[in-house]
């Protein structure tokens, strides 16, 4: 230590040395300022390494990719949240739901549009989402729950596929009934053919009746399954939410034991 600086405190000595350095070398205080142009927050790192879909074979090899994958694992991927600001240009922004949005029902019991709060008359839509990620074109099949007004915006340029969700038990009953009807029709036709095989005119009439029946079958409209009630859908939502939380808890405990 210089004897001239012995009577100074640590902070005063620091200022004295800095002032002497600037006086001798003629530099400014800005030369001591740290370069912050390359600083990145966690948000910047996640956005740089973000992927809309992570495949099983995608193994993160950098710290930024691991952080983005960890954030991706915390998202819920049954329904999406959309931004319809540029719907007239056929551009729709999509992202997965966060835990907070799942708890309040945003995107499932409330319209999935980012700025819409409508909760009545929601409709489910399935669309092929095309996007560019890290210079590569990709596609993903996603589902949305939108109110009638937002549904019109979604289908402004092209009609999307509406998803009809019915009860599984009723669907099984319908299939069994249709199988019984087919078996009955086939057995009836077989008995008619055997009884009228000797008569050529009766055989022609039977074939005409068969063609008429087949054409009527194709003209009939398919019966749509009744949609799930709000109570049933809410019960499934709570059950799915409980399973997700249990899986998260098991995963976090496993990571803790590894550490």
Q: Tell me: the pLDDT tens digits for 82-113? A: 999 999 998 999 999 999 999 999 999 999 99
Q: Is the pLDDT of residue 197 over 50?
A: no
Residue 212, domain member (yes or no): no
Of the ranges 20-34, 127-141, 177-191, which is most confident? 127-141
Question: Rounded CA gap, 183 and 171, in Å?
Answer: 19
**Are 56 and 116 part of one and the same domain?**
no
Residue 198, domain member (yes or no): no
C-alpha of 223 from chain center: 29
Q: What is the reported pTM?
A: 0.56
Residue 188, domain member (yes or no): no
Q: Which of 173, 188, 222 is the last residue of a domain?
A: 173
Q: Which of 149, 173, 197 is the last residue of a domain?
A: 173
Question: Rounded CA gap, 162 and 77, in Å?
Answer: 18
Residue 168, domain member (yes or no): yes
Residue 100: domain span: 75-173
Residue 87, domain member (yes or no): yes
Token code pair at residue 40: 């990145």
**Are 85 and 161 part of one and the same domain?**
yes
> What is the per-residue pLDDT for 103?
92
**Are 65 and 4 part of one and the same domain?**
no
Token code pair at residue 177: 């009934």
**Are 97 and 163 part of one and the same domain?**
yes
Residue 13, domain member (yes or no): yes
For residue 248, what pLDDT band results from cuts at 50, 70 and 90? confident
Contacts of 80 (CB under 8 A, 6+ apart): 94, 95, 96, 97, 107, 112, 129, 142, 143, 144
By the 10 Å C-beta count (0-12 exposed, 13-18 middle, 19+ buried), 92 is classed as buried
**Are 80 and 19 part of one and the same domain?**
no
Token code pair at residue 29: 């205080």
Residues 210 and 189: beta-carbon distance below 8 Å: yes
Q: Is the pLDDT of residue 216 over 70?
A: no
Q: Of 253, 235, 248, 240, which is closest to residue 74 (Cα–Cα)?
A: 248
Q: What pLDDT, in 10s, does the model give residues 102-157?
A: 999 999 999 999 999 999 999 999 999 999 998 899 999 999 999 999 999 999 88
Q: Phi/psi of residue 136, each to 5°?
A: -120, 135
**Are 168 and 106 part of one and the same domain?**
yes
Average pLDDT, the chain: 76
**Are 87 and 151 part of one and the same domain?**
yes
Residues 236 and 176: beta-carbon distance below 8 Å: no
For residue 158, what pLDDT band results from cuts at 50, 70 and 90? confident
Counted domains in the chain:
3
Question: Rounded CA gap, 33 and 232, in Å?
Answer: 62
**Are 52 and 124 part of one and the same domain?**
no
DSSP sequence for 126-137: EEEEEEEETTEE
**Are 64 and 81 part of one and the same domain?**
no
For residue 183, what pLDDT band results from cuts at 50, 70 and 90? very low
**Are 20 and 89 part of one and the same domain?**
no
**Are 104 and 67 part of one and the same domain?**
no
Residues 113 and 148: beta-carbon distance below 8 Å: no
Residue 218, domain member (yes or no): no
Residues 123 and 164: beta-carbon distance below 8 Å: no
Place of tokens 């945003």: 106
**Are 61 and 80 part of one and the same domain?**
no
Residue 217, domain member (yes or no): no
Question: Rounded CA gap, 90 and 157, in Å?
Answer: 6
Helices (H) and strands (E) in the chain, counts: 8, 5
């Amino acid at each position: 230590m210089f004897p001239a600086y012995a009577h100074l405190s640590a902070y005063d000595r620091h200022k004295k040395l800095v002032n002497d350095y600037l006086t001798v070398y003629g530099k400014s205080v800005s030369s001591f300022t740290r370069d912050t142009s390359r600083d990145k927050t966690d948000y910047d790192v996640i956005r740089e390494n973000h992927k809309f879909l992570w495949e099983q074979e995608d193994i993160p090899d950098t710290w930024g990719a691991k952080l983005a994958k960890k954030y991706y694992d915390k998202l819920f991927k049954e329904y999406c949240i959309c931004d319809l600001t540029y719907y007239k240009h056929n551009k729709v922004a999509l992202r997965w739901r966060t835990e907070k949005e799942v708890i309040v029902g945003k995107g499932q019991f409330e319209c999935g549009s980012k700025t819409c709060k409508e909760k009545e008359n929601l409709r489910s839509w399935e669309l092929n989402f095309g996007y560019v990620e890290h210079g590569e074109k990709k596609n993903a099949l996603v589902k949305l729950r939108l109110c009638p007004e937002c549904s019109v915006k979604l289908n402004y340029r092209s009609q999307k596929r509406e998803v009809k969700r019915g009860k599984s038990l009723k669907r099984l009953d319908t299939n069994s009934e249709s199988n019984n009807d087919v078996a009955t029709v086939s057995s009836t036709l077989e008995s008619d053919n055997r009884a009228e095989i000797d008569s050529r005119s009766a055989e022609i009439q039977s074939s005409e009746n068969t063609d008429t029946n087949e054409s009527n079958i194709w003209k009939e409209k398919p019966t749509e399954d009744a949609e799930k009630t709000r109570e049933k859908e809410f019960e499934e939502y709570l059950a799915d939410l409980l399973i997700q939380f249990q899986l998260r808890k098991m995963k976090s405990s496993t990571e803790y034991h590894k550490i």
